[in-house]
């Protein structure tokens, strides 16, 4: 029953002009901000830790902007199946200069990103244009999870869960696929410790491990919404030269390099970062 309600609501939102649908998203954002402040206290703490130099009013504005951005991003996610290759330029611009050559070479590629902008739209355009993307996602449950999986697979990209074996992921890279990882959530004690906004934070080590072990390039990807509500998907190669000889130290250093790129982008677009997850959940070692 819940699944069909979601499908029905999605059908209505796909029929509306995008400007109307996004206006609905902004109204939803204000409602959630004022009436249903789920995990809002966590987001406030995270913004304060990241930007201690900002005034309370500025931090509050960032939080409101975060609600607004992600409700609009949710609407665009719901509407994604309606975007064909021909319609994509109305929604998103893809910077192909950097990854096009990698694709043509047939070499595998590690793509790392964070919960910034709209990473689902990046999946959409790469999938629609036939890039060999294998995105690593958290398995979703329930009616909402079923709907999310349907929308993702409609893009043409391939998705595997985090529980997929390391051997399978390495095999995908060897076959020339692009392995996409959202690499900014707390990884507990099994993660690698990096500096994030001046504080130690545990981060997944997978992106660095795969890149080093398979000797494939690693790129940091972003999908940012501009003032006209269009998306720009861009890529930056992460320098993997001059890494320490020790493997653990090399993994830590490479993870730090793309974490630093993520922090730079968050500072530029703080309203487009998902502040609601517990990014400093694990206590660093003494």
223 φ/ψ angles, rounded to the nearest 5 degrees? -135, 95
Closest CA to 273 of 231, 225, 207: 225
Overall number of domains in the chain = 2
Do 231 and 246 belong together in one domain? yes
Task: Give residue 108's domain range.
Answer: 87-272
Q: Coil, strand or helix: which one is 263? A: helix
pLDDT tens column, 214-269: 999 999 999 999 999 999 999 999 999 999 999 999 999 999 999 999 999 999 99
Q: Is pLDDT at 83 greater than 90 in this prediction?
A: no
Q: Coil, strand or helix: which one is 236? A: strand
pLDDT tens column, 174-183: 999 999 999 9
Do 26 and 98 belong together in one domain? no
pLDDT tens column, 25-67: 999 999 999 998 889 999 999 999 999 999 999 999 999 999 9
In a domain, 283, yes or no: no
Angle of CA points 75, 180, 279, to nearest 5°: 75
Biggest CA-to-CA distance, the chain: 56
In a domain, 280, yes or no: no
Do 218 and 251 belong together in one domain? yes
Do 117 and 212 belong together in one domain? yes
The pLDDT of residue 150 is 87
Do 203 and 124 belong together in one domain? yes
Exposed, middle or buried: residue 88 (CB in 10 Å: 0-12, 13-18, 19+)?
middle
In a domain, 285, yes or no: no
In a domain, 155, yes or no: yes
Do 42 and 98 belong together in one domain? no
Do 149 and 244 belong together in one domain? yes
pLDDT tens column, 85-125: 888 888 999 988 888 888 888 899 999 999 999 999 999 99
Choosing from 62, 82, 102, the residue where a domain stops is 82
Choosing from 48, 82, 116, the residue where a domain stops is 82
Q: Which two tokens stand for residue 270?
A: 């703080």
Do 18 and 126 belong together in one domain? no
Do 117 and 104 belong together in one domain? yes
pLDDT band at 133 (very low <50, low <70, confident <90, very high): very high
- Better-predicted residue by pLDDT, 208 or 7: 208
pLDDT band at 82 (very low <50, low <70, confident <90, very high): confident
The pLDDT of residue 192 is 96
Choosing from 52, 82, 112, the residue where a domain stops is 82
Query: Residues, the chain, total?
Result: 286
Tabulate helix, strand, coil % of the chain (nearest 5): 55, 15, 30
Under a CB-based contact definition with an 8 Å cutoff, are residues 50 and 265 in contact?
A: no
Closest CA to 136 of 187, 179, 188: 179
Do 109 and 237 belong together in one domain? yes
In a domain, 123, yes or no: yes
Closest CA to 169 of 107, 110, 221: 110
Angle of CA points 180, 185, 190, to nearest 5°: 95
b/e burial code for range 217-239 (CB count within 10 A of at least 16 → b): bbbbbbbbbeeeeebebbbeebe
In a domain, 207, yes or no: yes
Element (H, E) at 150: helix 142-154
Element (H, E) at 221: strand 218-225
Do 24 and 135 belong together in one domain? no
């Amino acid at each position: 029953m819940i699944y069909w309600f979601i499908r029905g609501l999605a059908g209505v939102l796909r029929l509306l002009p995008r400007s109307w649908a996004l206006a609905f998203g902004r109204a939803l954002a204000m409602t959630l901000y004022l009436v249903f402040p789920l995990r809002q206290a966590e987001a406030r703490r995270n913004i304060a830790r990241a930007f201690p130099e900002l005034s309370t009013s500025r931090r509050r504005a960032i939080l409101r902007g975060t609600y607004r951005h992600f409700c609009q991003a949710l609407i665009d996610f719901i509407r994604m199946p309606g975007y064909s290759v021909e319609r994509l330029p109305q929604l998103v611009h893809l910077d192909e200069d950097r990854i096009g050559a990698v694709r043509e070479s047939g070499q595998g590629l590690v793509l790392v990103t964070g919960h910034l902008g709209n990473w689902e739209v990046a999946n959409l355009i790469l999938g629609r244009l036939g890039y060999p993307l294998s995105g690593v996602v958290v398995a979703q449950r329930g009616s909402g999870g079923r709907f999310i999986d349907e929308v993702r697979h409609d893009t043409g990209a391939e998705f595997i869960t985090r529980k997929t074996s390391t051997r399978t992921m390495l095999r995908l890279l060897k076959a020339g696929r692009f392995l996409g990882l959202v690499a900014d959530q707390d990884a507990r004690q099994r993660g690698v410790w990096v500096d994030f906004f001046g504080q130690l934070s545990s981060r997944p080590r997978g992106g660095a491990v795969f890149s080093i072990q398979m000797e494939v390039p690693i790129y940091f990807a972003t999908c940012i919404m501009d003032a006209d509500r269009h998306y720009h998907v861009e890529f930056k190669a992460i320098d993997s030269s001059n890494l320490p000889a020790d493997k653990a130290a090399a993994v830590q250093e490479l993870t730090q390099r793309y974490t630093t790129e993520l922090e730079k982008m968050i500072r530029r677009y703080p309203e487009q970062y998902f502040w609601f997850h517990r990014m400093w959940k694990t206590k660093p070692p003494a």
